Amino acid sequence: MNFSEIPKTELHLHLEGAAPPAFIRRLAQEKGVNMGGVFDENGAYVWSSFVEFLATYERACEVLKTPEDFGRLVSAVLEEQAAHGVIYTEMFLAPDFCGGGDLIAWREYLAAMSEAALASPVEARFIPTCVRHFGPEQARVSARVSAETAGGLVTGFGMGGDESQYRAADFAYAFDMAREAELGLTSHAGEVEGPQSVRETLEALKVSRIGHGVRAIEDPALVAELAERGVVLEVCPGSNIALKVYDDLKAHPISALREAGVLVTVSTDDPPYFHTDMSAEYRALNKTPGWTRADFDAINRTAMNAAFCDTETKNRLLAKFNGA
């Protein structure tokens, strides 16, 4: 099987986290910014724990300054996506890094990113995200600019960052604002924290999708509830393994969740940080029992049905997955 040729939908991709190291280095050179400590001697991003990963990520983001920088980044990331057969992608991006929550500035960033996305062969949507460890106040600022610009390519709102900080309920106001603007909702949970974090997130933030959610497997009642409610998990196996949530794919719960009737999808999260890409994710899954070409089409249909986009786009893209 040529894995890069399988058509794919990716629901969980951080724009900043997808920045190829060479892209960040080139920008740093152009601007004369010192990137010491961000890259190792082979030019890869340096980190060795979840907290360090977040810190390196934020350091790399310091070089992304102007709307033009972000437009160039969207083009580079979507080009990479297309090379791996991705036909529909939803990109998380933090307003904190795009003008710090100033609405006029945010609109300029959005215009540059939208122009780049619309010029790409990949159908893309943006999911502005708040960063959990920046706190609930800042999350409200992000939600406000997201709500103000809902429509066009902005179709969702989400939350990433350090799951061990704050409680999900602290972000309810931000998510309420986004819901009122009719944005689709998703939040990271059950990645570094356990099932209770997933429960609190569903309860307080009323999201239809959970970023990761894999640690729900530790609570069979929660797994049954996720299946019954049709909550969609944005599972990123390579990310979980790189961050040492699981030792390897054999120990990863994606297949068990799926067998329990939970709606799972497959994404890469922050591919260069985790030395992965969509083709590599599919290739690795294909080596584990129960994953065939038909299963890939099935998870892509699940992803497309859960996508934060209009029905016409959904139906057009669903037709690309066999058995639609």
Q: Write out the catalytic residue numbers.
A: 191
Residue 161: contacted member of ligand ADE, Zn ion, none (CB under 5 to 8 Å, by partner type): ligand ADE
**Smallest distance, Å, CB 57 to ligand ADE?**
6
Residue 281: contacted member of Zn ion, ligand ADE, none (CB under 5 to 8 Å, by partner type): none
Residue 240: contacted member of Zn ion, ligand ADE, none (CB under 5 to 8 Å, by partner type): none
Distance (Å, rounded) from C-alpha 111 to C-alpha 62? 20
Distance (Å, rounded) from C-alpha 158 to C-alpha 146? 10
Residue 144: contacted member of ligand ADE, Zn ion, none (CB under 5 to 8 Å, by partner type): none
- Contact between 38 and 27 under an 8 Å Cβ cutoff? The reply is no
User: Closest CB to ligand ADE among 123 and 163?
Assistant: 163
**Smallest distance, Å, CB 265 to Zn ion?**
13
Give the tokens for residue 321: 């997955």
Strand partners, 324: none
- In Å, what is the CA distance from 176 to each residue of 114, 148, 192, 225? 25, 13, 25, 23
Residues of the shown chain interacting with ligand ADE in the complex, contacts defined by CB under 6 A: 14, 17, 160-161, 188, 191, 239, 269-270
Residue 215: contacted member of ligand ADE, Zn ion, none (CB under 5 to 8 Å, by partner type): none
Residue nearest to Zn ion (CB): 269
Single-letter residue type at 171: F
**Smallest distance, Å, CB 218 to ligand ADE?**
18
Of 45, 41, 5, 52, the C-alpha closest to 21 is 45
Give strand ranges (E) for the chain.
8-14, 86-93, 123-131, 156-160, 184-189, 209-212, 232-235, 263-266
Stretches 48-56, 199-207, 258-266, 268-276: which one binds Zn ion (CB under 5 A)?
268-276
User: Closest CB to ligand ADE among 96 and 297?
Assistant: 96
- Contact between 55 and 88 under an 8 Å Cβ cutoff? The reply is no
**Smallest distance, Å, CB 211 to Zn ion?**
5
Query: 206: Cβ–Cβ under 8 A, 6 or more apart, which residues?
Result: 175, 179, 185
User: Closest CB to ligand ADE among 59 and 188?
Assistant: 188
Q: Count residues contacting Zn ion (CB under 5 A)?
A: 1
Q: Is the dihedral of CA 213, 154, 137, 160 positive or negative?
A: positive
Distance (Å, rounded) from C-alpha 85 to C-alpha 280? 12
Distance (Å, rounded) from C-alpha 98 to C-alpha 188? 21
**Smallest distance, Å, CB 316 to ligand ADE?**
29
Residue 184: contacted member of Zn ion, ligand ADE, none (CB under 5 to 8 Å, by partner type): none
User: Closest CB to ligand ADE among 17 and 85?
Assistant: 17
Strand order of the β-sheet with 184-189 is 8-14, 86-93, 123-131, 156-160, 184-189, 209-212, 232-235, 263-266
Candidate list 10, 16, 193, 269; residue touching Zn ion; CB under 5 A: 269
Stretches 26-34, 109-117, 264-272, 303-311: which one binds Zn ion (CB under 5 A)?
264-272
User: Closest CB to ligand ADE among 6 and 257?
Assistant: 257
**Smallest distance, Å, CB 261 to ligand ADE?**
25
User: Closest CB to ligand ADE among 133 and 283?
Assistant: 133
- Residues making contact with Zn ion (CB under 5 A): 269
